[in-house]
Amino acid sequence: MVLVQLLSLTSLYLAYKGSKLFVESNFELGSKLFMLGNITNMAIALNLGNLYLFIAQSMLCYFTLNMISANTKRFYTLMFVLLLTLILILGINNNIHFIYHDLIDIFGTITAVYGAYSMSKQRYTTMARMWILADLAFIIVAIKLGLIGLFIQSVIFCYHGYLRLKK
pLDDT at 70: 65
Neighbours of 68 (CB within 10 A): 18
**Distance between CA atoms of residues 55 and 66, nearest Å:** 18
Which of 34-38, 64-68, 107-111 shows the lowest per-residue confidence on average (mean pLDDT)? Answer: 64-68
**Distance between CA atoms of residues 164 and 13, nearest Å:** 20
State the pTM of this model: 0.87
**Distance between CA atoms of residues 44 and 38, nearest Å:** 10
Give per-residue pLDDT as tens, 79-134. 899 999 999 999 888 776 555 568 898 999 999 999 999 988 989 899 999 999 99
**Distance between CA atoms of residues 145 and 51, nearest Å:** 13
Neighbours of 66 (CB within 10 A): 10
CA 35, 3, 51, 152 torsion: positive or negative?
negative
Give per-residue pLDDT as tens, 7-24. 999 999 999 998 888 777
Confidence check: pLDDT of 34 > 80? yes
